Amino acid sequence: MRITQGTFSFLPDLTDEQISAQIEYCLEQGWAVSIEHTDDPHPRNTYWDMFGQPMFDLRDAAGVMSEVASARATFPDAYIKVNAFDATRGFETVRLSFIVNRPAHEPGFALIREEAAGRAIRYTIRSYAVERPEGERYP
Amino acid sequence: MDAKQRYTAGVLKYAEMGYWNADYEPKETDILALFRITPQDGVDPQEAAAAVAGESSTATWTVVWTDRLTAADVYRAKAYRVEPVPGNEDQFFAYIAYDIDLFEPGSIANLTASIIGNVFGFKPLKALRLEDMRFPVAYVKTFDGPPTGIVVERERLDKFGRPLLGATTKPKLGLSGRNYGRVVYEALKGGLDFTKDDENINSQPFMHWRDRFLFVMEAVNRASAASGEVKGHYLNVTGATMEDIYERAEFAKELGSVVVMIDLVIGYSAIQSISKWARRNDVILHLHRAGASTYTRQKNHGISFRVIAKWMRLAGVDHIHAGTVVGKLEGDPNTVQGFYNILREPLNPIDLERGLHFEQDWAGMRKVMPVASGGIHAGQMHQLLHYLGEDVVLQFGGGTIGHPDGIQAGATANRVALEAMILARNEGRDIWNEGPAILADAARGCSPLKAALDTWGEVTFDYASTDTADVVPTPTPA
């Protein structure tokens, strides 16, 4: 399966040129770009690991792209995303977030059902990958 | 007129009773209303405006001495400005100021009982429309506002940088719970973020509400596992009584639904009640504006939807249907953008072209996500993004479920069209002019999108708008 989190996951994987254009857009808006990675892509895993601090003072797309390259080299089999953070009053949140690296094989998720009273079901989503320890999930 | 004369028993003109004051300077704490009045032939517009001020505040048809037991000058609403409506000789804009102490804090029911309570049936007027209102910060702060708001909704759903996508389950009526859940599963798995109950899906013989909720949540969770995304379905909890509404909402929450839905017809107090419930339970609250067009659409009589939008931001909903511009339902571009600005901006400056006659400071109140629904399809993606921006739910019901290759394909077509358009916009391309080419390019790698464009690409709903701002010439949608 293909995990479709992030703004552009229904499109073919973005080329570096396309990624760079998106970063350029974010920087023009005055947003701070950051990079995060994980090997636990559960839809409610909010806190992916930060690959360094948000780059508040880096205003150059080429500089961000070299960080993306470095993240890919360090975690080639991980999910890596680029986030853009807007500190404007009324937002103070992420404005764009898209995946720039994913494992070659994505095993997907099991839906665990616990039958409860009155036909209700308690649902749990579990990634097949997390059955192995962190760091060993996408060999 | 001295006080003795003023309070002599008998009938005085409303203007003479103090409801007209051309010199009045509205206070920062006043609630302001703009009415469009159509006086009966021979009725002076200032007197008509004074009558509206009177009947929506303290007045009755005759002098009453008991006014003298109150600080009547404060409690009287004051009509302070009347001007002709451009292009409509028999109509006038009347500005009226109300003291904040005329209103119960945090109560839309009380506010509306005054402002639209009696006055719309008043005989000296042929017609009356509430065009706009201004709420002072002191009054805004007495409301909780949206329980979730755009920012928190996006953070909970982990979806940024693009409009959200939805679809209303069709046919509106008649599906069993099991078949209904099938539509939900297909649409969410295909790429939509939300599916939706329609306004009149409650608990009918063909599908009781519990059955719907159970099958729908199976579909939502299956689609979430299949995509790795948070998904939701607006479970309509509208019911005959508040007890029914709470029961349905509680069940939706127990099943893990991220969102519930209500219809505008449940009434303002019921909306405020379920809003407080949603806030306590971390559930997004979707409002379908069922019934609104009965009083919002005609310009001479009723209430502008911009006022309903303001009331609903105060009352506290997270989503509200606010027009598409390009779809099958009423929507002049500027007027609709006015609604969207009311829902989404921290402060609305005066913007006559968009029908905003007052500055409105929302004082940090959370933002409402507008919903565009009704006769829209993937081929309009560039127009939708151009007119409506990014913080909106685009709902393609027929445009998903009616896809020739099935519901999943319909959903995928919409999602691919959307992501391709956002990508292109961010790259600096002129989506207004290049939109069709961008979609055609994206369709080369996506056969569902190609089929959608082939089926609906040329469908438009090009009719004259009935609800336009009468201030400057109004452009028609392209």
SS3 B132: strand
Number of H helices, E strands in chain B: 18, 15
Measured in angstroms, the CA of A32 and the nearest CA of chain B are apart by 14
Answer for the pair B282, B257: CB distance below 8 angstroms, yes or no.
no
User: From residue A41, how far is each of A46, A79, B155, B229, B317 by CA, in Å?
Assistant: 9, 7, 16, 9, 31
**Three-state SS for A84?**
strand
In total, chain B counts a number of residues equal to 478
What are A121's strand-pairing partners? A115
Look at residue B395 in the predicted model and tell me its pLDDT. Answer: 95
Largest CA distance in chain B: 84
Taking the C-alpha atoms of residue B145 and residue B160, their distance in angstroms, rounded to an integer, is 22
- Average pLDDT (B410-424) is 98
pLDDT score for B325: 86
- State residue B118's pLDDT score: 86
Tally A–B CB contacts below 8 A: 106
Residue B148 pLDDT class (50, 70, 90 cuts): very high
H or E, element range at B167: strand B164-168
Q: Is the pLDDT of residue B474 over 60?
A: no
Does the distance separating the beta carbons of B254 and A46 come in below 8 Å?
Answer: no
Locate all alpha helices (DSSP H) within B228-304, ordered by sequence: 242-254, 268-281, 293-296
**Which residues of chain A are at the B interface, by a Cβ-Cβ cutoff of 8 Å?**
1, 3-5, 7-12, 14, 18, 21-22, 25, 41-44, 46, 83-84, 89-98, 108-111, 119-123, 125
For the entire predicted model, the pTM comes to: 0.95
Residue pair B301/B128 in contact (Cβ under 8 Å)? The answer is yes
**Mean confidence (pLDDT) of chain B:** 94
Task: Answer for the pair B167, B192: CB distance below 8 angstroms, yes or no.
Answer: yes
CB A125 within 8 A of CB A112: yes
Q: How far is B381 from chain A (nearest CA, A)?
A: 15
Determine which of B423, B429, B431, B444 to mutate to test the interface with A (most A C-beta atoms within 10 Å): B423
pLDDT confidence tier of residue B85, bands split at 50, 70 and 90: very high
The 3-state DSSP composition of chain A as helix, strand, coil percent (nearest 5) reads 25, 30, 45
Nearest CA in chain B to A47: B158
A92 chain-B contacts, CB cut-off 8 A: 151
Could you state, in chain order, the average pLDDT of each consecutive group of 10 residues for chain A (139 residues)?
97 98 98 97 96 94 97 97 96 98 94 93 93 82
Which chain B residues contact residue A38 at CB under 8 A?
none
Q: Which of B126, B141, B170, B301 is catalytic?
A: B170
Measured N-to-C along each axis, helices B242-254 and B209-227 cross at an angle, to the nearest 10 degrees, of 30
**Distance (Å, rounded) from C-alpha B122 to C-alpha B127?**
9
pLDDT tops 60 at residue B476: no
- Based on the residue annotation, tell me whether B301 is a catalytic residue of this protein: no
Whether B170 sits among the annotated catalytic residues: the reply is: yes
DSSP structural state of residue B121? G
**Contact state of B214 with A120 under an 8 Å Cβ cutoff:** yes
Mutate to test the interface with B, among A123, A124, A126 (most CBs of B within 10 A): A123
